[in-house]
Structure 1
Amino acid sequence: MIASQLPVLLIVLPLMTAPLCVLLGGRRLAYLLALTVSACVFGISLALMARVLQSGPIHYDIGGWQPPYGIEYVVDYLSGFVMLFVSAIAAIVLAYAPRTVELEIPGSKHTLFYASYLLCLTGLLGMCITGDLFNVFVFLEISSLSSYAMISLARTRRAPLAALRYLILGTVGATFFLIGIGLVYQMTGTLNLDDIAHRLPREGGPRTILVAFAFMTIGLCIKMAVFPVHSWLPNAYTYAPSAVTAFIAATSTKVSVYIFIRLVYDIFTPEFAFDLLPLDSELTTLALVGIFVASTSAIYQSDVKRLLAYSSIAQIGYMLLGISMGTQEGLTAGIVHMFNHALIKGGLFMVVGCYALQLRSVQLEDWRGAGRTMPWTSMAWALGGLGLIGVPVTVGFVSKWLLLTTAVQTEHWAVAVLMLVSSLLAVVYIWRVVETLYFHEPSGRAARAKEAPLSMLVPTYVVIAATLLFGVWTTYSAGLAGRAAAALLGAGS
């Protein structure tokens, strides 16, 4: 009986317990409740993914109302894959969070933080599992509003302004997306994703469909932080509390990429997006320009969180490259890079949180020589950096190799060459930090620092170790991404 209700429990559990974190009043009780719920949600995601692998996609009708009249939850290879790593990252970051939350968020706001964290997790998982287009918007707003709240909770005065900027641009993106939904509903009379895909007139259809697709694409590009509509992301990541940055950097933009993949490959189909429209060439151009501009910006940053923020914008470009190729291999590379980048960037931002706790600074100048006084934290940075560059036996190599081989097979020689060159830019900004940590005399802060506490190092190394594990064992990551890509292209055709 309980097993059949797992799809709805995945959403109801964090949604209903979020207000309890505030009502309980105690910071420790709120943390324990949030940690327990996030662990349970991860367990539910594991169980759902196991069922999908065993017996195929799961369809759950809310209230017993069958679609398209009722709302449907769907767990397939792609949604299950994204749900699984989002819930895993959420649980690990929350286990890591208490010390950094104590430092960076006023004590009176801790219960609000844990409530917002669970609401954000609800929204992200809801976008993955829902089979209703309007519900995608609802869950998108739940996750966005709670993200704005979490960013604004930091002690620094710049955090509320960063949250406000994120709110303004996020609202613009959500409005564009909602207008697109309205136009799609006008043309099809349904909001069920599968029903829309069957009813939507594409070839020779009215101009309204083209306008709807354009509105939804622009809205999602803002949410994904695609260059040049990325300006909300650097400040949001830089001034948010370290635990918040680690969580949203690893999950938020990836779920937006997931929705974009659904839009292109499941609802409108690649024939509409890439054959009738030149979206593939436009995405490729934006992706490549974004990779080079953002990577170059990262090289010149003195704030390590801002450095990683610009790096994230560049990495979104690699995902778009895979999506724009329009082949199963390219889509597989784009999907697996979502997972790989979630691990890499989540781990690196957790490392930054360790330095922020011990050095009370994320400025590169203050990190000089910290490799001597914080050797385990520094080694975690070096290992995570290797993954970001794409060195063999790390997850970054897997997705970049898939992208490179696909570009060569499809004779996109310029894309292949530019990808190789762009990886050298990642070497530069990662090496800047490594050089500062290991090849400089310790700064005043670094000389007095001690190693980060085990309560933060252990979760950090779990994520960093995963970047090595899944760089060698690709059955789960690349294998499952390949099955998801095959299912999407089968549905699209």
Structure 2
Amino acid sequence: MIEAHLPVLLIVLPMMAAPLCVLAGNRKAAYGIALLTTLATFAIGLRLMSTVLSTGSIHYEIGGWEPPYGIEYVVDSFSAFVILIVSAMAAITMMYAPPSLDKEILPSKHYLFYATFLLCMTGLLGMCVTGDLFNVFVFLEISSLSSYALISLGKTRRAPLAALQYLILGSVGATFILIGIGLLYQMTGTLNMVDIASRINTVNGPRTMLVALAFMTIGLYIKMAVFPLHTWLPNAYTYAPSVVTVFVAATATKVSVYAFVRLIYGIVTPDFAFETLPLDAALRLMAFVGIFVASTAAIFQDNVKRLLAYSSIAQIGYILLGVSMNTQAGLTGGIAHMFNHAIIKGGLFMVVGCFAMRLGSVQLSDWRGAGRTMPWTAFAWAVGGLGLIGVPLTAGFISKWLLLTAAFESELWQVAVLMLISSLLAIVYVWRVVETLYFSEPSEIAKAATDAPLQMLVPTYVVIGATVLFGIWTTYSAGLAANAAAMLLGGSQ
């Protein structure tokens, strides 16, 4: 009986737990509620994925109202994959959180952090599960508003300013998305995504459809932090508390990519986007400019959080390259990179949080020689950095290899060459940190440091270990990505 309601429980559990954290008013009670909720949500995500793989897509009608008159939740192989990413990173981040929060956020605000974190997770999961286009916007705003609040909790005075910058740009993006949804509703008279797809004419349809696609694409580009609409991201990741950066960096932009892929493959069709319109060429151009500019910017950063933030902008470019190829191989590579980048970047930001905990700084100049006094933490950076570069036997290699082979299959030789060159830039900025940790004389701060507490190191190594695990055992991550790509292309034909 309960299993039939898992799609809605996925949303209801964290949504109801958030006010309970506020009512508890106690940080330990709030933490217990948040931890149990994230673990339960992860268990639901695993069960939904298992059900989808065994029986196919799950359709859940809210209130018993059939679509398009009622709101429908749909869990298919693509949405289940992204749900798994979000719920897994939420659970592992919550296990990691307490020591880092004690260092970076006032204890009196901890229960508010847990409540807001659960709301952010609710919004991200809701975007993945809903089949109603306006619901996508509602959940997007729930996750965005809670993200602004979480970022503003940073201990420096720049954190509220970074949150305000994100709010302004995020509001512009949300407005564009809402205008696009309104135009689609004007044309079709429905908000159900499957119903919209069946009613719009992508061959000789009105120009309104082109305008709607343009508005929604630009709005989602802002949310994805696609270059040059990325300006909110470096400050947001840099000045947010470490725990917030871990979760937001691993999930928020990936869910926005999910929404974009749904728009292209589930509503307007790739034939219209990539053949009638030259969106594939535009995507490739923006992706490569973003990869090279952001990777170059990362090389010159002294703040390690900002270094990883620019790296994230570049990695979104790789995901969009896979989408732009409009082939099953390309989509598989792009979707696999969503998963792989989530665990790699989440793990690296966890490492940064461990260093911040002991050294009190995320400036590279203060990390000199810390590899000698914090060996376990430094080794975690080295392994995660190899994954970010895409070295064999790491998850990063798998998705980049899939993207390379997809480019060769599509005879996009220039794409393959540029991808290989761009990976060299990642070597440079990852090595800068490794060199500072292992080959520099220890700074005064580093001499007195010890490894981070086990409550932070163990979750960090779980995520960093997953980088190696999914680089060797590719059946699960790459296999699920291939299932999702096949479903998306099958649904668009």
* TM-score calculated relative to the size of structure 1: 1.00
Whole-angstrom distance in 1 between the partners of 2:117 and 2:230: 23
Instruction: Write the distance in 2 (CA, Å) between the matches of 1:86 and 1:65.
Output: 28
For 1:186, the equivalent position in structure 2 comes to 186
Pairing 1:213-252 to 2, within 5 Å after superposition: 213-252=213-252
Cα distance in 1, alignment partners of residues 13 and 78 from structure 2:
22
Q: Are 1:386 and 2:386 an aligned pair?
A: yes
For 1:266, the aligned partner's letter is G
Aligned to 1:47: 47
CA distance in 1, matches of 2:279, 2:477: 27
Residue in structure 1 matched with residue 259 of structure 2 by the alignment: 259
SS in 2 for 1:131: coil
1:72 maps to 72
Gap regions ≥5 residues in structure 1: none
Partner of 1:135: 135
> How far apart, in 2, do the equivalents of 1:223 and 1:154 lie?
21
Which residue number in structure 2 is paired with residue 98 of structure 1?
98
Question: Partners in 2 of 1:438 and 1:461 — Cα distance?
Answer: 19
- 1:237 & 1:154 partners in 2: Cα distance? 10
Residue type of the alignment partner of 2:372: R
Report the Cα distance in structure 1 between the residues aligned to 2:75 and 2:409, rounded to whole angstroms.
32
How far 1:409 moved relative to its partner?
1.5
Who is 1:171 aligned against? Answer: 171
CA separation in 1, counterparts of 2:410 and 2:471?
25
Matches within 5 A, 1:182-331: 182-331=182-331
Rounded to whole Å, the distance in 2 between the matches of 1:319 and 1:471 is 17
Contact 1:371 1:438 in 2 (8 A): yes
The superposition leaves residues 333-379 of structure 1 with CA deviations (integer Å, 9 ceiling, x where unpaired) of 00000000000000000000000000000000000000000000000
Tell me the distance in 1 between the aligned counterparts of 2:163 and 2:30.
Answer: 24
Partner of 1:12: 12
RMSD: 0.5
1:56-95 alpha-carbon deviations (Å, 9 max, x no partner): 0000000000000000000000000000111000000110
How many Å separate the matches in 2 of 1:143 and 1:24?
22
Q: CA deviation at 1:406?
A: 1.0
Pairing of 1:77-92 with structure 2 (within 5 A): 77-92=77-92
State the partner residue of 2:410. 410
Shift of 1:154: 1.6
Corresponding position of 2:372 = 372
Which secondary structure state, in structure 1, belongs to the residue aligned with residue 452 of structure 2?
coil
Amino acid in the other structure paired with 2:450: K
Q: What's 2:487 paired with?
A: 487
Determine the C-alpha separation between the residues in 1 that align with 2:446 and 2:414.
44
User: Residues 393-432 of structure 1 correspond to what in structure 2 (within 5 A)?
Assistant: 393-432=393-432
Question: Distance in 2 between the 1:202 and 1:107 partners?
Answer: 55
Name whichever of 210-219 and 99-108 sits farther off: 99-108
Deviation track 1:88-135 (CA, whole Å, cap 9, x = no partner) reads: 000001100001111111122111100000000000000000000000
The 8 Å contact of residues 292 and 314 in structure 1, kept in 2 or not, is answered as yes
Distance in 2, matches of 1:25 and 1:150, equals 17
- Equivalent position of 1:346 in the other structure: 346
AA of the residue aligned to 2:244: V
Question: What is aligned with 1:110?
Answer: 110
- Whether the 8 Å CA contact 1:340–1:467 is kept in 2: the answer is yes
Corresponding residue for 2:123? 123
Q: What do the CA deviations read for 1:238-269 (whole angstroms, capped 9, x no partner)?
A: 00000000000000000000000101111111
Could you tell me how far apart the structure 2 residues matched to 1:340 and 1:199 are? 36
Contact 1:301 1:307 in 2 (8 A): yes
User: How many residues are paired up?
Assistant: 493
Deviation at 1:294?
Answer: 0.1
CA distance in 2, matches of 1:363, 1:98: 22
Contact 1:106-1:154 within 8 A present in 2 as well: no
Distance 1:403 1:54 in 2: 28
- For the Cα contact (< 8 Å) 1:184–1:212, is it kept in 2? yes
Distance 1:369 1:174 in 2: 44
| Aligned counterparts of 1:265 and 1:335: Cα–Cα separation in 2 | 13
CA distance in 1, matches of 2:245, 2:401: 28
Aligned equivalents of 2:362 and 2:153: distance in 1?
Answer: 18
Whole-angstrom CA distance in 1 between matches of 2:102 and 2:254 = 28
2:163 counterpart letter in structure 1: A
- Helix, strand or coil for the counterpart of 2:475? coil
CA contact (8 A) 1:373 1:446 kept: yes
Report the secondary structure of 1:60's partner residue: strand
Amino acid at match of 1:278: P
**1:55 counterpart letter in structure 2:** T
The whole-number CA distance in structure 2 between the counterparts of 1:132 and 1:296 is 40
Determine helix, strand or coil for the equivalent of 1:97. Answer: helix
| Distance (whole Å) between structure 1 residues aligned to residue 31 and residue 194 of structure 2 | 39
TM-score w.r.t. length of structure 2: 1.00
Question: 1:483 & 1:236 partners in 2: Cα distance?
Answer: 34
Distance (whole Å) between structure 1 residues aligned to residue 370 and residue 327 of structure 2:
45
Q: Distance in 1 between matches of 2:248 and 2:473?
A: 26
Structure-2 residue corresponding to 1:162: 162
What is the CA distance between 1:476 and its match in structure 2? Answer: 1.2
Aligned to 1:56: 56
Question: How far does residue 233 in structure 1 lie from its aligned partner after superposition?
Answer: 0.0
**Aligned partners of 1:25 and 1:204: how far apart in 2?**
58
CA–CA separation in structure 1 for the residues paired with 2:341 and 2:300: 22
